[in-house]
Amino acid sequence: MKKRKIERRNQFVQVLQQIQIITNEIYGSAKLVSSKAVVDESDLSLRKLEELHKQLNELEKEKNDRLKQVEDHLSMLNSLCLVMGMDFKLTVAEVHPSLGDSEGFWSISNNTIEQLATLIKKLQEVKIQRMQRLQDLGTTMLELWNLMDTPIEEQQMFQNVTCNIAASEHEITEPNTLSVEAEVSRLEELKSSKMKELVLKKRLELEEICRKTHLVPDSQSAVEDAIEAIESGAVGAATILEQIELQIAKVKEEAFSRREILERVEKWLMACDEECWLEEYNRDENRYNAGKGAHLTLKRAEKARSLVNKLPGMVEALASKTMAWEKETEVEFLYDGIRLLSMLEEYTILQQEKEQERRRLRDQKKLQGQLIAEQEALYGSKPSPSKPLSVKKGPRHSTGGASSRRVSLGGAMLPTHKPDSLHSAKATPQTLHKRTERMFQNDHLNHRHDDAIPAFSA
């Protein structure tokens, strides 16, 4: 009987010890469990033992549920840490040291479970923030790639990012997908680089449109200034890009309204080139000599004369169109930074001065011819010192007729000039004034030379 009592008492002790251990694990009691549990010697009945076993089973069930809950929390944390590139063991060890040891016993206290749940919620919020940031960057990258015509090979480097643009939070599970260092920072740098390239491309596009339409781009939006502003962080690349886009749209709109006048300007400048060529051609005394390509040069001279005769009407019509455009738009019509009406006015004034000089020289030649005729009438004509009187005069050749007539009228022989090529360089506003002045000066020098010969003969 005494032996049975001792065995029953030991059974009570074992059950009570297990209950105490599990209770400490669940509720986090820091109190040490004694090696011998306190047993109520007055009640060692089987009914009491069964009650203790029932209590133990309930505690074991609760312990298993808590272990399962902790395991689920750790699994979720492990997944979040993998996606965001975080150290799992260091993260959970901050909650409780036992959680970082895979071989030890995990803490299943209420405090531990609550901290794990809080940590999961916090990391999920961070994951969503990073995911949204990454998706925004990925969308921006796709837009930049389309604008820059980026090769497929270069895009494949970030395929793991762009494929998650439309993914939901629970679908992003690949390791390091949302790692700040591995993906987001790299995309930020690439975005900055691509934005600089795009700003450069758009700026060059703006300059090309301005060049074709003979407009001067805004100096404040120069490429160097834009890139410097982006690198210093003073202005965002998106802001500069938006400004350039607005300028491109504005220039395209203005170019459309300038198109008709620009076509007339091109024809006028082409006619000015032909005028320069024709004046050079007329100063060449050998222009009527038969030679290779002479008939082509004569044909060009005929076409040039026809075109030059249309110049006054062409200038008048162009000026009228330009004034109407300026009145409508309330803006000066600039051609490569110079007002077109000023160019036309300068050209007209130079043409008038040239015509006045030609008229003055013609009157002077006429007067000199009359003086020579009067001298011949009084004193008789003198034989030419260059030829003996006994030499018989041969037939006059048609090629020298123009030169002989100029000498007989008191004019001078024109200096010989090499004809220009069939295709002269295109005139520009900067060269137009110089060319016209050069024509005026050459013509003036030639007539001064003509004046010297009759005076010397007299």
- pLDDT of 174-188, one tens digit each? 766 666 555 556 666
pTM of the model: 0.44
Q: What angle do CA 267, 268, 274 make, to 5 degrees?
A: 90
Q: Note the pLDDT of residue 453.
A: 36
Residues constituting the chain: 458
Average pLDDT of the chain to the nearest whole number: 74
Tokens 């979720």 sit on residue: 76
Paired tokens of 18: 């297990």
Looking at 32-46, 196-210, 295-309, 400-414, which range is the least confident one? 400-414
Beta pairing partners, 156: none
Per-residue pLDDT averaged across 110-131, rounded? Answer: 89
Per-residue pLDDT averaged across 201-214, rounded? Answer: 86
Report whether pLDDT(406) > 60: no
Distance CA 416, CA 334 (A): 39
Distance CA 87, CA 89 (A): 6
Rg (CA), the chain: 51
Q: Is 180 exposed, middle or buried (0-12, 13-18, 19+ CB in 10 A)?
A: middle
